């Protein structure tokens, strides 16, 4: 019997092989060529290349108080003061990895705040459908190996998931066949089509002829393993499209196999939700202001809390994305990407390490089935959000302003 040695984290920079995860989209690929000489030129993915390049170019940064460079001690102390004095801090953005999500939930518990993700509206819709009825899902790996029909529901997602086409739609290395799956694209407004297919499948009449629906139903009935890939949907029909697709999948499964495949809404969404669930039982849009968790996916929506002034501090967490937070009336405490630039400087800006580039971490794949391991691939002086969080949670570790 032995305990874990204090081994240093493996650095992909020192490990010529693959296996380091890319945190910049929901596919969380780990088969890209590693950055060499702190450059990401060899990566076969625009999004990965952009994400790694930006972070590799920014391995150090200075904290700022209202735009003025500050020491780390002063900046942490100012952050602590903001958090301590806030009546209801909103922890938002959450474009980060599991470690960032853990920090957000810990800070929200300590300072009595609400947690909502940047893509909270879409996440909350999916959560509402799930909590009402449940669903039948599959994973990226199973879709790759078994799907013979993929019904792509949502906007073209090349920008969001650049390698999906290569890794799923066009993949011929599959367990029981070497044929790529048939792909049917329904676009961002698929509700009526899915509704019609479901109606026809139930043997009920349609309000008008829909040959496309008739054809899709035939394709579905002939499929051995049909997958409804759910991407981004138009706001005004996303809820019903997802519900209808979910019910259609359940009905198909009475006699054959079919499943939904959810690919997530944006970086950090799945980790924020799932970590929240095991931390407090609920996840997204949960308030810890009263000493116990309360989830309300409408009342604790970030936009509403900011617009109504219910939240009096915006804590923006974004280690993966350098886009600054939206402008707000509330003061802002930003734990941000080191390349973040602001039109309106926040009260406190603490640059943090980018997971998967400057530090190790874990991030959920969009299908929620796998936490992908992230390694540090370059040296950096930037602090991990978790280290800042540990100081903020320990009142005595903060030098008073």
Partner 1 sequence: MLTCLRGGTLYDPTHRIDGEIGDVWFRDGHICAPPANAADADRVIDVSGKVVMAGGIDIHSHIAGGNVNNARVLLPEQHLAERARYAGQPFASAKWSAVDTGYRYAEMGFTTVVEPAVLPINAAQAHAEFADIPIIDKAGLAIVGNDDFLLRLLRDGAEQQRVTDYIAWLLHATRCLGVKVINAGGASAFKANVRAFGLDDEVPMYGVSSRRILNAVQHAVMQMGIAHPVHVHCNNLGVAGNVSTALATIEAADGLPMHLAHVQFYGYGSEGEHGFSSGARALADAINAHRNITVDVGQVLFGQTVTISGDVLRQFDARHIATPRKWVIWDAEDGGGGVVPYRYRARNFVNATQWAIGLELFLLVDDPWRVFFTTDHPNGAPFTAYPQLFRLLMDRDYRAEWLSRINSDAADASLLRHLDREYGLYEIAVMTRAAPARLLGLHDRGHLAPGAVADITVYEENADKAAMFAHASLLFKDGQCVVENGRVTHACRGRVHAVEPDFGRTIEKAVGDYFDRYHFITPSNFCLDTGHLAQALGTELIMH
Q: Where in 82-111 is the site for partner 1 (CB under 8 A)?
A: 98-99, 102, 105-106, 109-110
Q: Could you tell me the two tokens for 161?
A: 């998931």
* Chosen residue from 18, 215, 327, 399 binding partner 1 by CB under 8 A: 18
Stretch in the footprint of partner 1 (CB under 8 A) among 58-66, 211-219, 281-289, 328-336 = 281-289
Whole-angstrom distance between the N-terminal and C-terminal Cα of the chain? 48
On the 0-12 / 13-18 / 19+ scale of CB atoms within 10 A, 273 is buried
Report whether 89 contacts 112 (CB < 8 A).
Answer: yes
State the nearest-atom distance from the C-beta of 261 to partner 1, in Å.
10
Q: Does 19 bind partner 1 (CB under 8 A)?
A: yes
Q: Does 278 bind partner 1 (CB under 8 A)?
A: yes
Q: Does 215 bind partner 1 (CB under 8 A)?
A: no
Q: Does 396 bind partner 1 (CB under 8 A)?
A: no
On the 0-12 / 13-18 / 19+ scale of CB atoms within 10 A, 108 is buried
Q: Does 199 bind partner 1 (CB under 8 A)?
A: no
**Dist CA 131 CA 125 (whole Å):** 10
Q: Does 369 bind partner 1 (CB under 8 A)?
A: yes
Q: What is the largest CA-CA distance in the chain?
A: 71
Measured over the CA atoms of residue 199, residue 200, residue 205 and residue 207, the dihedral's sign is positive
Give me the torsion for CA of 234, 240, 245, 251, rounded to 10°: -170
Q: Binders of partner 1: how many residues, by CB under 8 A?
A: 81
* Chosen residue from 188, 277, 339, 387 binding partner 1 by CB under 8 A: 277
Interface positions, 153-192, toward partner 1 (CB under 8 A)? 167, 173-176
* Chosen residue from 362, 378, 383, 398 binding partner 1 by CB under 8 A: 362
Interface positions, 295-334, toward partner 1 (CB under 8 A)? 295
State the nearest-atom distance from the C-beta of 99 to partner 1, in Å.
6
Stretch in the footprint of partner 1 (CB under 8 A) among 74-82, 204-212, 319-327, 368-376 = 368-376
Question: Checking DSSP bridges between strand 149-153 and strand 182-187, what pairing results, if any?
Answer: parallel
Q: Does 343 bind partner 1 (CB under 8 A)?
A: no
**Dist CA 280 CA 181 (whole Å):** 40
The packing angle between helices 98-111 and 269-280, to 10°, is 50
Instruction: Count the alpha carbons within 13 Å of 328 in the hemisphere toward its beta carbon.
Output: 27
Q: Does 125 bind partner 1 (CB under 8 A)?
A: no
Contact string 28-67 vs partner 1 (x = CB under 8 A): --xx------------------------------------
Q: Does 280 bind partner 1 (CB under 8 A)?
A: yes
Interface positions, 370-389, toward partner 1 (CB under 8 A)? 370-375
């Amino acid at each position: 019997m032995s305990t874990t040695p204090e081994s240093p984290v493996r650095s992909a920079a020192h490990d010529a092989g693959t296996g380091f995860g890319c945190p910049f989209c929901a596919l969380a690929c780990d088969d890209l060529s590693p950055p060499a000489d702190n450059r990401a030129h060899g990566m076969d993915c625009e999004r990965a290349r952009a994400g790694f390049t930006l972070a590799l170019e920014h391995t150090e940064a200075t904290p700022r108080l209202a735009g003025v460079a500050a020491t780390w001690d002063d900046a942490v102390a100012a952050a602590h003061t903001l958090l301590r004095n806030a009546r209801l801090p909103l922890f938002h953005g959450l474009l980060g990895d599991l470690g960032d999500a853990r920090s957000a939930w810990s800070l929200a518990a300590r300072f009595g705040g609400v947690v909502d993700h940047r893509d909270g509206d879409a996440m909350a819709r999916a959560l509402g459908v799930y909590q009402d009825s449940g669903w039948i899902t599959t994973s990226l790996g199973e879709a790759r190996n078994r799907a013979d029909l993929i019904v792509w529901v949502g906007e073209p997602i090349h920008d969001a998931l650049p390698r999906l086409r290569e890794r799923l739609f066009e993949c011929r290395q599959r367990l029981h066949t070497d044929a790529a799956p048939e792909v049917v694209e329904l676009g961002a407004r698929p509700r009526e089509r899915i509704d019609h297919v479901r109606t026809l499948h139930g043997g009920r009449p349609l309000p008008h002829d829909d040959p496309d629906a008739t054809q899709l139903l035939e394709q579905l009935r002939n499929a051995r393993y049909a997958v409804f890939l759910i991407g981004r949907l138009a706001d005004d029909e996303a809820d019903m499209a997802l519900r209808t697709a979910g019910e259609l999948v359940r009905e198909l499964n009475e006699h054959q196999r079919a499943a939904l495949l959810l690919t997530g809404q944006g970086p950090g969404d799945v980790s924020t939700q799932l970590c929240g669930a095991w931390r407090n039982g609920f996840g997204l849009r949960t308030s810890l202001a009263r000493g116990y968790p309360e989830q309300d996916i409408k009342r604790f929506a970030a936009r509403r809390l900011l617009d109504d002034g219910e939240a009096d501090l915006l804590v923006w967490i974004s280690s993966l994305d350098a886009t600054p937070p939206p402008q707000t009336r509330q003061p802002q405490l930003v734990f941000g990407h080191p390349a973040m630039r602001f039109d309106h400087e926040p009260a406190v800006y603490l640059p943090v390490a980018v997971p998967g580039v400057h530090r190790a971490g874990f991030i959920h794949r969009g299908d929620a089935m796998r936490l992908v391991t992230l390694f540090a691939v370059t040296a950096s002086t930037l602090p991990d959000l978790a280290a800042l969080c540990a100081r903020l949670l320990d009142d005595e570790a903060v030098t008073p302003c």
